[in-house]
């Protein structure tokens, strides 16, 4: 079952003005992704997603040139060997760093999809897990900056659909952020879990002002108030309240997670299967975190490929937390590119797909109809 071909496709679609969401990194004007297709010599096709890294053409080009050359002809079932080869020759020494981690993540996911299809098993079973209910929160590029009453109106259908946890976007100003949290808490009561994500939009002064109020309002975590590399700032902010600090979507491989775990500052870890090194590497990160009794709440990427894979992984680790359900309005990568990646129950839980591998069908015509749109995704 050798790898015959590796293809990466940068894809995009514009976000209509009425559906744009403002958050700590700007206002979303388009959605980008990198879809990875790996085909074996005996014709098995696996699909994966590499995060776009806000340079989806570059990530796809790296896959279609350097990485494809490295792994063509290798055993598709040897996910550890493929990962190690990319690490040795591309990532470990002067090899594009985060770009390679994102690129290899999609390849690794596609190889796991192939393994499942080869034996007829869903991914969670291959990983040693079982089908179980996974709690989900309403997230994705949604619940952004707006008047508190409008935010409540956006959240209400999510609650009606079954979600029992919401992630609100903060990083605007502490005052406006807290007003929005207060409005949502008042509207839905204490039985709904409220989480927050600043998307690196806070200063240390902002965090000092906002975090005591977040503690008062029972916020479950403050995610990425600062950039991933600001270790000292995270350590200082930990003292501002008991609200847990969360991060991980912008940390790459177990080697970066080793640092943040040993720092003992972050207590909510959020590796992304399309960024941190793929399924193979996030399983390692989860095992390392388990030794410290730390939970894994995977960050959800652009497409249903990542989202379905995240649920599978949560079913296969002993320290799994929430699934981030992307509830972005009009997300064609979730609704059209692939078959249905998940369904929420009225109890607020999701379950993994039962088909082989990721359990998804991919519309290749969609890929052809949505070529890359160049330029920034946020303004």
Give the pLDDT confidence score for residue 24 in this predicted structure.
87
CB 342 within 8 A of CB 350: yes
Give the pLDDT confidence score for residue 172 in this predicted structure.
96
Q: Is the pLDDT of residue 328 over 80?
A: yes
Give the pLDDT confidence score for residue 84 in this predicted structure.
97
Q: Which of 105, 97, 106, 103 is nearest to 229 (CA)?
A: 97
Q: How far apart are CA 210 and CA 241, in angstroms?
A: 9
pLDDT-based confidence at residue 94 (cuts at 50, 70, 90): confident
pLDDT one-digit tens code per residue, 98-155: 999 999 999 999 999 999 999 999 999 999 999 999 999 999 999 999 999 999 999 9
**Is residue 201 classed exposed, middle or buried when 0-12, 13-18 and 19+ CB atoms within 10 A define those classes?**
buried
The CATH class that applies to domain 3-120+364-369 reads alpha beta
Mean pLDDT along residues 164-181: 98
Q: 89-93, 111-115, 316-320, 364-368: which range is least confident on average?
A: 89-93
Task: Name the phi and psi angles at 11, rounded to 5.
Answer: -130, 155
Domains in the chain: boundaries = 3-120+364-369, 124-350
pLDDT-based confidence at residue 93 (cuts at 50, 70, 90): confident
CB 360 within 8 A of CB 338: yes
Mean pLDDT along residues 280-307: 97
Structural tokens at position 294: 């730390």
Q: Is the pLDDT of residue 302 over 90?
A: yes
Domain 124-350: homologous superfamily in CATH: Enolase-like C-terminal domain (3.20.20.120)
Mean pLDDT along residues 65-93: 96
pLDDT-based confidence at residue 238 (cuts at 50, 70, 90): very high
- Enumerate residues 6+ apart whose C-beta is below 8 A from 262: none
**Is residue 174 classed exposed, middle or buried when 0-12, 13-18 and 19+ CB atoms within 10 A define those classes?**
buried
Q: Which of 179, 170, 185, 189 is nearest to 148 (CA)?
A: 179
pLDDT one-digit tens code per residue, 179-226: 999 999 999 999 999 999 999 999 999 999 999 999 999 999 999 999
CB 32 within 8 A of CB 12: yes
Q: Is the pLDDT of residue 19 over 90?
A: no
Give the pLDDT confidence score for residue 361 in this predicted structure.
98
């Amino acid at each position: 079952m050798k790898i015959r071909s590796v293809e990466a496709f940068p894809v995009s679609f514009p976000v209509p003005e009425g559906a744009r969401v403002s958050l700590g990194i700007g206002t979303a004007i388009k959605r980008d992704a990198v879809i990875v297709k790996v085909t074996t010599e005996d014709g098995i096709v696996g699909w994966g997603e590499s995060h776009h890294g806000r340079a989806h053409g570059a990530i796809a080009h790296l896959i279609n040139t350097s990485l494809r050359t490295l792994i063509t002809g290798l055993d598709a079932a040897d996910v550890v060997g493929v990962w190690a080869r990319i690490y040795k020759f591309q990532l470990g020494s002067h090899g594009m760093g985060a770009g390679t981690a994102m690129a290899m993540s999609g390849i690794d996911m596609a190889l796991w999809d192939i393994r499942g299809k080869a034996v007829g098993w869903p991914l969670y079973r291959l990983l040693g897990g079982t089908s179980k209910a996974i709690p989900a929160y309403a997230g994705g590029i949604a619940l952004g900056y707006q008047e508190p009453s409008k935010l409540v109106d956006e959240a209400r259908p999510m609650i009606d659909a079954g979600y029992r946890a919401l992630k609100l976007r903060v990083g605007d100003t502490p005052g406006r952020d807290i007003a929005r949290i207060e409005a949502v808490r008042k509207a839905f009561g204490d039985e709904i879990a409220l989480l927050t994500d600043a998307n690196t939009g806070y200063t240390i002064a902002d965090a000092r002002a906002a975090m005591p109020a977040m503690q008062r309002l029972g916020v479950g975590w403050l995610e990425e108030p600062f950039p991933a590399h600001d270790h000292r700032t995270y350590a200082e902010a930990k003292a501002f309240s008991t609200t847990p600090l969360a991060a991980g979507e912008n940390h790459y491989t177990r080697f970066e997670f080793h640092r943040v775990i040993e720092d003992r500052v972050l207590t909510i870890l959020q590796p992304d299967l399309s960024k941190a090194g793929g399924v193979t590497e996030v399983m390692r990160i989860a095992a390392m975190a388990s030794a410290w009794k730390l939970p894994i709440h995977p960050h959800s990427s652009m497409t249903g490929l990542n989202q379905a894979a995240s649920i599978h992984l949560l079913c296969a680790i002993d320290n799994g937390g929430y699934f981030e359900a992307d509830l972005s309005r009009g997300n064609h990568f979730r609704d059209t590119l692939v078959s249905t990646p998940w369904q929420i129950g009225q109890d607020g839980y999701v379950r993994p797909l039962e088909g082989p591998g990721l359990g998804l069908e991919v519309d290749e015509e969609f890929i052809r109809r949505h070529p890359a749109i160049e330029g920034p995704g946020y303004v």
